[in-house]
Structure 1
Amino acid sequence: MQIYGSYKISQIKTIFNGIIIGVLAGSVVSMFRWMIQHMMVFMQFLYSGVSRHPYFPVICILINLMIGLFVGKLLKQQPDIKGSGIPQVEGQLLGEIDYNWWSVLWRKFIGGILAIGSGLYLGREGPSIQLGSTLGQGVARLFNQVGFDRQVLISSGAAAGLSAAFNAPIASTLFVLEEIYHNFSTNIWVVSLTSAITSDMVATYVFGLKPVLYMQSTPLPLKYFVWVVILGAVLGVVGRFYQIIILSMSKWYQHTHLPWYLNGIIPLLLVIPLGMFFPRLLGGGSNIILHLNAAGYATSILVFYFLIRFIFSMISYGSGLPGGIFLPILCLGGLIGAIVGNIAISLHLMNPLYFSSFIIMGMAGYFAAISKAPFTAILLITEMVGTLTHLLGLAVASLVAYAVIDLLDGKPVYYSMLQQLLKIKTQLNLDKTVQIIETVYAGSSMDGKMVSKINWPRGSLLTKIQRNGIEIVPAGNTLIRWGDTLYINVATNNRVAITHQLVQLTTET
C-alpha cells in the first residue's frame, strides 16, 4: 500500500512538472511563432518593393547583412544553436552533448526569429523543439533533477516545443518516443503528453483552433491506390537524394572560405531576388502548401517550384543558421504529391476531386522517408490537416516511402546529423576533455554545499569524489565537504579559464 501511494505521488509530481514545462514552452514558442510571422510580412514588403523603389535593394542588403553578422556572432558564442536543434537535443539525451540551457535559449530564440523571419527556407519546428528542451532543462535545474529525471524533463520540453509550433500534441509526444527514445516508457510518455497538451492549449489560445495546414479534401477511393504506391516510391527515391545532399552541404560551404559562423550571409543575400520574384515561396513553406490545392498550378510550374524550394532549402540549412528542415520537408513532399496527382489527372486516370489527397499523402510520405519515423509522420499530418479520413492513404504512402528509402540504405536524417555534429565537435576540439583533480578546502565556496547548488563552470563535469579513501559517485544531492578530492573533466579548449574558476571555488574565500 505504501508503494502504491508513493507511485501515485510520483505520477502527480510528473504531471505537475509536465504542466509547468508546457506553460513555459507554449508561451515562449507562441511568441517565437508570432514574431517570425510579423517579421516575415515586413521582409516580404521590402523584397516586393525592390523593383519599384530604387533604395529598397540597398535597405534589404544592409538589413540582411546585419542579420548575418549578428546571428553569426551568436553562433560563434554558442555553437549549439546551429541548425535545427533536434540533433543537439538527441545528443543531449544520449549523453553525448551538454550545454548551458539559458545560453542556448535566448540565442536560439533571437537567432531563429531573425533567420527564419528573413524569409529563408527554414522551419520553426526544430528551433521550437530545442527551445522547449532547454526550458525543460531549466526546470530540471530549478527542481534539482539529475540523471534520468532530468532527461525526462528535457524530452517533455521537446514535445511541448513541437506541439506549440504545429498544434499537434499527439504527434509531438510520439516524435519524442519514436525519433529520440525509440521506446514507449510510461515515465516518458506521461510527462511528454502532459507538457504537449498544455503547450498546445497555450498556442491555441494565441493562434486559434484552426489546424496549421487545414485544407478541404476528399478521401481517395481504393481504386486509385496504385497511384499512392507510385507516389510512395517516388517519395522514397527523392527522399534518399535529399538526405545525401543535406548531409554534404557543410563540405560545400567549406569552399566559400568564410568563417563557419558567417556562412549565413550567403543565403541571406540570395533570398532577396527570390523574395522579389517568388514571395509566396518564402519561409518554411506553409504558405505554398495552403495555396497548392486552389491555385491550379500546371505540372511544369510545380516542378519549377519544387526545384527552387529543394535547392534553396539546402543552401539555407547548410549555412548553419538557426532553423529547421521539418516544415521545408513537408512543403517538398506536398509539391511532389501535387506533381504526381497532376500527372494522374492529366492522363485522365484520376478524378481532379482527389488532387488534395495527394498533397496530404506527399507530406506524410516524404517526412516518413527522410526521418524514418512513419508513425510520427502519419499522426503529424493528420493533426496538422485536421482530418482523419486520409489515414489509410497516409499509412500506405508512408510505408512504401519508408521501404524504398530503407532499400536505398537511408538512415534517419536527424541521427545522421547528430553523428556529423559530433564529428565536427571532435575536429574543432569542442568535446575533448581532460581530467583535473582539486581538493576542497575548509571555508571554501563548495564546502558544505550540495553538488546541484554549486555554480559549476561551463565545460566542467564532476565525475568522482574521493573521501577518506572511499570513492563516491556524485549526484545532485551529494554534499561536498572540506577534505574531499574532486575528479573533474574539463573541456580542453577552455581548460585554463575553467581550472582557474574551479580553484576559486575549492579554496578559501
Structure 2
Amino acid sequence: MKTKRLKKWDLSRLYAVVQGIVVGLLAGVVVSFFRLLISQGLKLVTWYFGQAHEHWWLLIVWVLISLGLTLILGRWLKQTPDIKGSGIPQVEGQLMGELDYHWWPVLWKKFVGGVIAIGSGLFLGREGPSIQLGATVGQGFAAKRHLTGVDRRIIIASGASAGLSAAFNAPIASSLFVLEEVYHNFSTMVWITALASAIAADFVSTVFFGLTPVLHITYLRALPLSQYGWLLLLGVLLGLLGRLYQIVVLRVGSWYSKLKWLPDDYNSIIAFVLLIPIGWFIPQILGGGNSLIVSIGGNAPTALVLLLIFVLRFIYSMMAYGTGLPGGVFLPILTLGAVFGGFFSQLMVTWGLMPAAEVPIFVIAAMAGYFAGISKAPFTAILLITEMVGTLHHLMPLAIVSLVAYMTVDILGGAPVYAAMLDRLLQHRQQTQTTPLKQISFPVFVESSLAGKQVREVNWPQGALLVELQRGEKVLIPHGDTIIRVGDLLVLNVESRTLRAVRQAMKQLVGD
C-alpha cells in the first residue's frame, strides 16, 4: 500500500506578514510620538508668538533660542548627514543598494531634529521624516534578526510604508507610494509585507489620534459635469507650478552654499530668524500646513489672501528645506496645492463662473494634482488624498487633475522629485566605506528591449552579474537559454565602483 506524501506547507508569506506587522507596530509607535510632539510644539510656538505681541523682548529670546538650536542641529547634520532633509531619497538609495547608514544614530537624531525643526513652525513636513524613521526602524529590526539582501530590503520598505501610514492614516496609499515611488518593486512578497506593516502602523496611529481622517473636508455636492472643463485648466496650471517647484527645490541648496560667511550645516539660523514676521503677523499658517488645508476646505478666504499665502509658503518652505534641516516637502506640497486650488476656485466664484459650494472640491483635487505632478506618482496622489479626506465622491476630479498635471510636468521634462533628489545626493556624497559587491533588482517593463530575449543575447553592463530571476511566485536561477519575460524581476550582483553606471544602463534595458 502506497502512502501519499503530504505536501509541505509554504509559510513564507505568513512569516513575511508577521514580520511586517511587528515592524509596523514598532514604527507606528515611533512615528505617532513624533507626530504628537510636533503638534504640541506647533501649539507652543503659536502661543509664544501671541505672547510676543505683549512682550516684544520675547523676539530677542527667540533669536537666542534659534542660535542655540542651530548650533545643536548643525553639529548633528555634520556628524550624521543622512538625517538631512526629507529622508525619502536616503531610503530610496538604500533600497536601490546605492547607499547605506547606521540605523541608530539616524533614528534618534532624525526624531529629535525633526521635532525641533518641524515643531518650531518652519514650513517643513513630517511625512518624509516619518518614512525614514519607519524605514530605519525596519533596518534596526533587520539588523537584530540578521537579515541581509532582499529580505533586509523588504523589511526596510515595509518600515517606510508603516512610517507614512502612521503619519497620514492612509495605509493603502502608503503601501502604493513605497512600491511606486521608493522601491519600484511590485512583487508579491514586497507588497504583502508593506501592506501588513502599513495596516499595523495605522492601527497604532488611530489609537493615538482617533478615527477622523487627517484632512477631513466636507462639501455639499459632487462636481457637476459642466464644471469639468475647469479641472483641465487647473491641472495645466498645477503642472506648470509643479515644474517650477522641482527646479527651485533642487537648486535652493546650492544657493545657500554661495553664502561664504555661513557654514552649510548652520544655514538653519536664516530659516529660524526669518520665521519671526510670519509668526508675528499670520501664525495660523505656521508648520507643515495640515490645519491650514482643513480651514481652507471648510471656509476659504478671498482669492487675494490665498495668493499671498501661496507665495509666502512657496518662498519660506524653500528657504526651510534648503537649510538641510530634518523635514520634508510632502505635506508642504499638499498645502501649496490646496492653497492654489482655493485661489483658483475663489477666482472663479468672484467672476461668477462657479458657485462657492464647489470650492472644497477644487481644493481637494488641487492637492492631488500638485503632488502628482511634482512626485510623478499619480496613483499614489489619488489614493492618498482619497484616504486622507475620507470619501470617494471626488475620485473623478482627482484623477483628471492628477493626470493633466502629471502630463504637463512630463512634457516640460520634469523627473520625479525624490529620484532627482537622490541623484543630487549621490553626486555630492563622498563614499567613505563601500562593500565590494552590492545586489540590486530591476523589473522588466512592457517597453523593455529585454522582453523575449535569452539571457545570453543581452549585452549586460560591465561589472554586473545576473544571479536570480523572480517570475511571479517562482525564483529561477538564470542560464544562458533562459528567456526573459515582461514582469520578471532581475536580481544582479554589482561591483560598488560601477554601481551608478550599471543602474543607468539597466534603466535603459528594462524600459524604466
Sort the TM-score into its range (normalised by shorter chain).
0.7 to 0.9
| Among 204, 210, 222, the residue aligned to 2:225 | 222
Q: Distance in 2 between matches of 1:461 and 1:173?
A: 30
Task: Tell me which residue corresponds to 2:435.
Answer: 461
Per the alignment, in what secondary structure is the counterpart of residue 259 of structure 2?
A: coil
Task: Tell me which residue corresponds to 2:195.
Answer: 193
Per the alignment, in what secondary structure is the counterpart of residue 461 of structure 1?
A: coil
Task: Tell whether the 8 Å contact from 1:29 to 1:164 is kept in structure 2 after alignment.
Answer: yes
Q: Distance in 2 between matches of 1:14 and 1:93?
A: 17
Task: Tell me which residue corresponds to 1:268.
Answer: 272
Q: Distance in 2 between matches of 1:178 and 1:460?
A: 27
Q: Distance in 1 between matches of 2:392 and 2:142?
A: 37
Task: Give, as a single letter, the amino acid of the residue that structure 2 aligns with 1:123.
Answer: G
Task: Give, as a single letter, the amino acid of the residue that structure 2 aligns with 1:337.
Answer: G
Task: Tell me which residue corresponds to 1:417.
Answer: 421
Q: Distance in 1 between matches of 2:7 and 2:342?
A: 54
Whether 2:156 is the aligned partner of 1:154: answer yes
Task: Tell me which residue corresponds to 1:473.
Answer: none
Task: Give, as a single letter, the amino acid of the residue that structure 2 aligns with 1:461.
Answer: T
- How well do the aligned residues superpose, as a CA RMSD in angstroms? 1.8
1:69 deviation in Å? Answer: 1.2
- Quick one: structure 1 residues 5 and 227, their matched pair in 2 at CA, closer, same or farther if it must change by over 3 Å? farther
Task: Tell me which residue corresponds to 2:363.
Answer: 359
Task: Tell me which residue corresponds to 1:209.
Answer: 211
Per the alignment, in what secondary structure is the counterpart of residue 326 of structure 2?
A: coil
Task: Give, as a single letter, the amino acid of the residue that structure 2 aligns with 1:197.
Answer: I
Q: Distance in 2 between matches of 1:330 and 1:199?
A: 22
- Quick one: structure 1 residues 310 and 183, their matched pair in 2 at CA, closer, same or farther if it must change by over 3 Å? same
Q: Distance in 1 between matches of 2:341 and 2:373?
A: 14
1:11-410 equivalence runs, <5 A: 11-217=13-219, 218-257=221-260, 258-410=262-414
- Quick one: structure 1 residues 187 and 252, their matched pair in 2 at CA, closer, same or farther if it must change by over 3 Å? same
1:431-442 equivalence runs, <5 A: 431=431
Structure 1: gaps spanning 5 or more residues: 433-458, 465-487, 491-509
Task: Tell whether the 8 Å contact from 2:300 to 2:342 is kept in structure 1 after alignment.
Answer: no
Task: Give, as a single letter, the amino acid of the residue that structure 1 aligns with 2:40.
Answer: H
Task: Tell whether the 8 Å contact from 2:217 to 2:298 is kept in structure 1 after alignment.
Answer: no
Task: Tell whether the 8 Å contact from 2:218 to 2:298 is kept in structure 1 after alignment.
Answer: no
- Quick one: structure 1 residues 103 and 5, their matched pair in 2 at CA, closer, same or farther if it must change by over 3 Å? farther
Q: Distance in 2 between matches of 1:373 and 1:152?
A: 20
Q: Distance in 2 between matches of 1:219 and 1:134?
A: 41
Q: Distance in 2 between matches of 1:255 and 1:281?
A: 29
Q: Distance in 2 between matches of 1:204 and 1:412?
A: 31
1:143 deviation in Å? Answer: 1.1
- Quick one: structure 1 residues 96 and 349, their matched pair in 2 at CA, closer, same or farther if it must change by over 3 Å? same
Q: Distance in 1 between matches of 2:49 and 2:290?
A: 19
- Quick one: structure 1 residues 349 and 5, their matched pair in 2 at CA, closer, same or farther if it must change by over 3 Å? farther
Per the alignment, in what secondary structure is the counterpart of residue 435 of structure 2?
A: strand
Task: Give, as a single letter, the amino acid of the residue that structure 1 aligns with 2:259.
Answer: T
- More displaced, 79-88 or 269-278? 269-278
- Over residues 115-134 of structure 1, what are the superposed CA-to-partner deviations in whole Å (9 max), with x where a residue is unaligned? 00010000000000000000
Aligned pairs, number: 436
Structure 2 length as normaliser, TM-score?
0.83
Structure 2: gaps spanning 5 or more residues: 439-494, 498-512
Task: Give, as a single letter, the amino acid of the residue that structure 1 aligns with 2:69.
Answer: I
Q: Distance in 2 between matches of 1:489 and 1:396?
A: 42
Task: Tell me which residue corresponds to 1:496.
Answer: none
- Over residues 189-243 of structure 1, what are the superposed CA-to-partner deviations in whole Å (9 max), with x where a residue is unaligned? 0000000000000000000000000011232111100000010000000000000
Q: Which runs of 4+ in 1 moved over 4 A?
A: 1-4
Task: Give, as a single letter, the amino acid of the residue that structure 1 aligns with 2:162.
Answer: A
Task: Tell whether the 8 Å contact from 1:177 to 1:183 is kept in structure 2 after alignment.
Answer: yes
- Quick one: structure 1 residues 194 and 55, their matched pair in 2 at CA, closer, same or farther if it must change by over 3 Å? same
- Quick one: structure 1 residues 420 and 463, their matched pair in 2 at CA, closer, same or farther if it must change by over 3 Å? closer
Q: Distance in 2 between matches of 1:44 and 1:92?
A: 37
- More displaced, 70-79 or 367-376? 70-79
Per the alignment, in what secondary structure is the counterpart of residue 400 of structure 2?
A: helix
Structure 1 length as normaliser, TM-score?
0.83
Q: Distance in 1 between matches of 2:68 and 2:130?
A: 24
Q: Percent identity?
A: 51
- Quick one: structure 1 residues 296 and 330, their matched pair in 2 at CA, closer, same or farther if it must change by over 3 Å? closer
1:48 deviation in Å? Answer: 2.2
1:47 deviation in Å? Answer: 1.8
1:60 deviation in Å? Answer: 1.1
